[in-house]
Amino acid sequence: MDRAFPMSDSLQRTPLYDLNLELGAKMVPFAGFEMPIQFPAGLMTEHLHTREKAGLFDVSHMGQIRIAAKSGDVKDAAAALETLVPADYVGLAAGRQRYGLLTNEEGGILDDLMVANMGKDLLVVVNAGCKVQDAERIEKALSDRCVVTRQFDRALMALQGPAAEAALAPLCPAVKDMRFMDVIETELATATGSVPVTVSRSGYTGEDGFEIGCAGTDADRVARAILAQPDVLPIGLGARDSLRLEAGLCLYGNDIDVTTTPVEASLGWAIQKARREGGVREGGYPGADIVLKQTRDGVARKRVGLVADGRAPVRAGAKLFADAEGQKEIGVVTSGAFGPSVKAPVAMGYVTPEYAAVDTPVFAELRGKYVPLHVRAMPFVAPGFKR
């Protein structure tokens, strides 16, 4: 067994670093941060606990950015952001959140993000590893019309699972009235007084739950207040990855990157009608010509879900074949793990379109053998969202 996790001096720490250590976290470097990969309960227990009760994740490494239009009208900020993202944000109502993709001139994906209409401005949440370049890109493109504010010192935590509402409501009663993808600004009661928070009813696990943003200086008492609720355990990035994979959600850098387009990534649903061919604001984002053409004419590969027939996990990087002899290569696995809730190895990857239909048998190269899998619909687990 090899293991080497050298902790570099240059790694950043989230506002919950001390609490994570106090809770017994095993820390690893991730996207330039020292992050908890697991807590003493262990990945398997953390995963299953989140599906059955509720788990609290420190995701403060992610970037929060506010975009306010100089005109004062949030619709102008939304229209400006639409020049970078092929989603309908002009049509996004106040108090609602929507997934989106930052594209480049080739239609490749620079990052995926969540955008919320906060009424007076937009709140954007981006991936940790991309946040500086995302902020630079947004500032460069929008600063004539908008004030773009990096809030990288803010904390973000996700409370996920069927018991999430019951755990959060005593501290933050307004969350009871929220539906999936609602977002509000409210106050959360801690042992030392109430603090202002942003709350969205969303997450990265396929479960009902919330993401709670607060000032970095308030993060410790907010997290302690939530962890003091019944049924809440701290959860590390290890379980976060297996949970999101079972939910069929992409990990930026693995399943999507600058070499994949929204169409290839099977993320066409993230481009709403208004931005598609014939829509009221068709195109108008980087790489739109390529994405529109691919939507029309098809692509050479598609992202699909995969479930192994056997018990051996198939990991990222495994080559995919049409046959059990490894004669015809048809794609590659981009994420793979054992799915604790599915109770089988699950994966996602790219295959040529003729092998992308649900229930198509394919084979993955694994230690010199070819193990059978089937293309399956995602998510691999039933979503628990409160619609």
Partner 1 sequence: MTTYYTKSHEWIRVDGDQGTVGITAHASEELGELVFVEAKDEGTEVAAGDAAAVVESVKAASDIYAPVAGTLAGFNDALSDDPTLVGKDPEGEGWIFRMTVANPDDLKGLLTAEQYKSL
Closest to partner 1 by CB, 33 or 338: 338
Residue 130 CB, shortest distance to partner 1, in Å, is: 22
Q: Does 255 bind partner 1 (CB under 8 A)?
A: no
Among 107, 108, 262, 340, binds partner 1 (CB under 8 A): 340
How far apart CA 19 and CA 220 sit, in angstroms, is 7
How far apart CA 216 and CA 88 sit, in angstroms, is 31
Residue 171 CB, shortest distance to partner 1, in Å, is: 31
Binders of partner 1 in range 9-38 (CB under 8 A): 38
Please list the residues that pair with 55 across neighbouring strands. Answer: 160, 233
Closest to partner 1 by CB, 166 or 344: 344
Closest to partner 1 by CB, 42 or 173: 42
Residue 129 CB, shortest distance to partner 1, in Å, is: 18
Binders of partner 1 in range 116-145 (CB under 8 A): none
Residue 313 CB, shortest distance to partner 1, in Å, is: 5
* Binding footprint of partner 1, residue count (CB under 8 A): 20
Among 39, 338, 350, 363, binds partner 1 (CB under 8 A): 338
Closest to partner 1 by CB, 237 or 375: 237
Encoded tokens for 284 = 């108008």
Q: Is 64 in contact with 71 (CB distance < 8 Å)? A: no
Residue 333 CB, shortest distance to partner 1, in Å, is: 13
231-247 as b/e: b if 16+ CB within 10 A: ebbbbbbbbbbbbbbbb
Q: Does 337 bind partner 1 (CB under 8 A)?
A: yes
SS3 per-residue string spanning the chain: CCCCCCCCCCCECCCCHHHHHHCCCEEEEECCEEEEEECCCCHHHHHHHHHHCEEEEECCCCEEEEEEECCCCHHHHHHHHCCCCCCCCCCCCCCEEEEEEEECCCCCEEEEEEEEECCCCEEEEECHHHHHHHHHHHHHHHCCCEEEEECCCCEEEEEECCCHHHHHCCCCHHHHHCCCCEEEEEEEEECCEEEEEEEECCCCCCCCEEEEEECHHHHHHHHHHHHCCCCEEEECHHHHHHHHHHCCCCCECCCECCCCCCCCCCCHHHCCHHHCCCCCCCCCCCCHHHHHHHHHHCCCCEEEEEEECCCCCCCCCCEEECCCCCCCEEEEEEEEEEECCCCEEEEEEEECHHHCCCCCEEEEEECCEEEEEEEECCCCCCCCCCC
Residue 341 CB, shortest distance to partner 1, in Å, is: 11
Among 93, 278, 367, 382, binds partner 1 (CB under 8 A): 367
Residue 285 CB, shortest distance to partner 1, in Å, is: 35
Residue 116 CB, shortest distance to partner 1, in Å, is: 31
Residue 337 CB, shortest distance to partner 1, in Å, is: 5
Q: Does 4 bind partner 1 (CB under 8 A)?
A: no
How far apart CA 16 and CA 10 sit, in angstroms, is 17
Binders of partner 1 in range 35-54 (CB under 8 A): 38, 42-44, 47
Q: How many CA atoms lie within 13 A of 107 on its CB side?
A: 19
Among 3, 6, 8, 278, binds partner 1 (CB under 8 A): 3
Closest to partner 1 by CB, 26 or 120: 26
Closest to partner 1 by CB, 116 or 314: 314
Binders of partner 1 in range 153-182 (CB under 8 A): none
Binders of partner 1 in range 193-252 (CB under 8 A): 238, 241-242
Closest to partner 1 by CB, 296 or 367: 367
Q: Is 232 in contact with 187 (CB distance < 8 Å)? A: no
Residue 71 CB, shortest distance to partner 1, in Å, is: 48
The contact mask relative to partner 1 for 276-315 (x = CB under 8 A, - = no) is -----------------------------------xxx-x
Closest to partner 1 by CB, 2 or 359: 2
Under the rule (CB under 8 A), what is the footprint of partner 1? 1-3, 38, 42-44, 47, 238, 241-242, 311-313, 315, 337-338, 340, 345, 367
